[in-house]
Amino acid sequence: MKRIIKSLIMATALTITTTGIAMATPSTQIWIPSTDIQAFKTLHLGIDNYTRTSSNGSGIRANVYDLGLTAGILPFEKVQAEVGVDYITYGSDALDGSPIYFNAKVATPEGSLFKMSPALAVGGYGFGTKSDFTDLNIVYGLAAETLPVVGRFSAGYYKGNDTALLSDDDSGVLLSWDRTMSEISDKLWVGVDYQGGDNAVGAFSFGASWAFAKNVSVIFGYDIYNDKALAGENTFTTQLDINFP
């Protein structure tokens, strides 16, 4: 039965021009989660656009739009947590009828456990409300360490719902590098990340961010999907991030 359901979902996805799957996003790099986390009693508003750089075989570009809110909920210095909710549209009736997704994360900052200890994070995202369509149910673990001059490296692993991810290849590595380019400006950040797996979320992404104010920044990036038949054509992404207070 599960195989039949998956076949129906894949047929639906292809019929609606493979919209691809964006994510109910926790604090992220460009595409993958990061070990960063919202501070206690702070809110983060994210407005993300994923614009297809080319049309699929049917000549249609199915763009993705994500409006998300994330809140820091733990008052502790060494163990922090955030929860979030996203409203995501794909241009697909099969998915857009259930546009609400949830995420959560618990993390420890670098150096909080012992001297030079890495940042650690465990969490989940893509918890949708439509069974086997929007419930990606991705859980992950990450570790990150910042090296002088070079920047921050992170590595981890994830696993999700193979039916919603449209592939039995429902797990993979999470890798990233990012750095504030203080030699140019403390407002400039660059990053590269990779999510393994030939499924609806596997991708290689790169981009840069500029902080227009202390609490406002915009990421400009590009996403190259591992399996375009499942995730859709590559996307140019803009991600507006606003923190309150």
Residue 166 has pLDDT above 60, yes or no: yes
Rounded mean pLDDT of the chain?
90
In the prediction, which pLDDT does 25 show? 67
- CA 143 to centroid of chain Cα atoms: 16
Residue 161 domain boundaries: 2-244
Residue 22 has pLDDT above 70, yes or no: no
User: pTM of the prediction?
Assistant: 0.89
In the prediction, which pLDDT does 2 show? 39
In the prediction, which pLDDT does 1 show? 38
For residues 73, 160, 88 and 243, what is the CA-based torsion angle, rounded to 10 degrees? 30
User: How many distinct structural domains can be found in the chain?
Assistant: 1
Question: At a CB cut-off of 8 Å and minimum separation 6, what does 129 contact?
Answer: 98, 100, 101, 135
Question: At a CB cut-off of 8 Å and minimum separation 6, what does 144 contact?
Answer: 34, 35, 110, 118, 119, 121, 152, 153, 154, 155, 176
Cis peptide, bond prior to residue 245, ω within 30 of zero: yes
- CA 24 to centroid of chain Cα atoms: 7
Average pLDDT for residues 128-137, to the nearest whole number?
A: 94
In this prediction, residue 58 has a pLDDT band, given cuts at 50, 70 and 90, of: low
CATH number at residue 36: 2.40.160.40
In the prediction, which pLDDT does 99 show? 96
Residue 243 has pLDDT above 80, yes or no: yes
